[in-house]
Amino acid sequence: MVEQFDLLVVGGGSGGLACAQRAAEYGARVALVEPGRLGGTCVNVGCVPKKIMWNASEIRATLDDGVDYAFRPTPTGHDWASLKAKRDAYVARLNGFYARNLASKKIAHVEAHGSFIGPEHIHAAGRTLGAPHIVIATGGRPVWPTIPGAPLGITSDGFFDLTARPERVAVAGSGYIAVELAGILAGLGSKVALVIRGQEVLKQFDALLGQTALLMLREAGVDIESSCRGAALARRPDGCLEFELHDGRRLGPLDSVIWAVGRVPNVEDLALERAGVHLSPAGFIATDDFQATNAAGIYAVGDVTGRIPLTPVAIAAGRRLADRLFGGQHGRRLDYDIVPTVIFGHPPIGAVGLSEMQARARHGQDVKVYTSTFVPLYYAMTTRKPHTHMKLVTVGADERIVGLHVIGPGADEMLQGFAVALRRGVRKRDFDDTVAIHPTSAEEFVTMR
């Protein structure tokens, strides 16, 4: 027997939950199929627990700075296990919150794996669910390297299972996850080595951000092992790990090795061929500007599409899709062009719009760039003197701002407002005509010359 709904959502992460709940608010009969903890990567092994660990690392730095501000702190060490327990309890409360939300909106929650048995039907937990609209929101997972001994290490997911802080750790990867984890661990007192294949990190961002991030990681005591890749991981007789690199270098002894070398979409168990859904050459579910796949009535949102894998992007795409399908908002879709993003490094990194390289490739000689480098006032009293770096990328005679980039304290909080301005087509003169808030780092964006 087929249980019929207006919408089926396969995946209970940020995008799937957002789409299901918005559709239910319009009166649609919705079922959500998810075998694991609600909230997906972000809530369980991503943004939320990561930010808590980042907060702890930032507090450690603040305590150190307290001496320069004439405090006499008494160091007592950091209880990783206690913080983990509190963090995990908070995540569990969020899982329960999402479950209660589904129930309050009368969304059927099927706690099982779902797979297609046809273009309008899903099989889950021995049940056959049907709907004219099906949304795939199954997210992604970390990649494991294919080298001998790789399972002796852990992925970014495994980082949140650690019951104690590893004293000596290697992080392999050059993307934002690797940069974040290296910074968190170094900030909490671990001896960290960051292993990168080339000479740069954050290659998808403006070069200023990647270069400065590496500099600041080095200043935090992180060893940068560049132009190398892992060859093997082995357990030593003393129980520690030894990480062999392709050029013969050996890192160790280590307490942990964290693989942050990429992510892949969760598509293998969906039986997409039964619905005729096509994948992109990179293995993601191919979608158009309206989140639609090639198969009529089947859509995809979030990391499984490979399009800007950020939680707010998945949420926005899911809600807009529901607005269009059930809210009568024809033409409603997500614009992927100007999406702000923050990397929680130490300090945080923010970017919205085009990098300088992207702008020059698109607009050539019409590009003009403004930069600023300074030591924030906070560090006037401290021994350490890290610089904040900012860049504005403008185009045309009227200097429309097409890119804004910053690395420094407060980057995460200041970026949201500037993102709104870029979406509204702000010009450099609009920044110039805005009265600065002093003394802040954000004022530098409206006083650049």
Show which residues are catalytic. Answer: 438
CB 321 within 8 A of CB 20: no
Contact of 380 with 373, CB cutoff 8 Å: no
From residue 427, how far is each of 271, 357, 399, 436 by CA, in Å? 49, 19, 6, 16
**C-alpha–C-alpha distance, residues 64 and 383, integer Å:** 10
**Strand ranges inside 42-118, DSSP E:** 108-110, 114-118
From first CA to last CA, the distance across the chain in angstroms is 69
The tokens for 192 are 């960290």
**Look-up of token digits 């690199």:** 245
Q: Which amino acid is at 349?
A: I
- Label residue 38 exposed, middle or buried (CB < 10 Å: 0-12, 13-18, 19+): buried
387-421 burial: b if 16+ Cβ within 10 Å, else e: bbbbbbbbbeeebbbbbbbbbbbbbbebbeebbeb
| Total residue count of the chain as it appears in this document | 449
**β-bridge mates for residue 193, sequence order:** 170, 223
Kind and range of the H or E run holding 326: helix 311-326
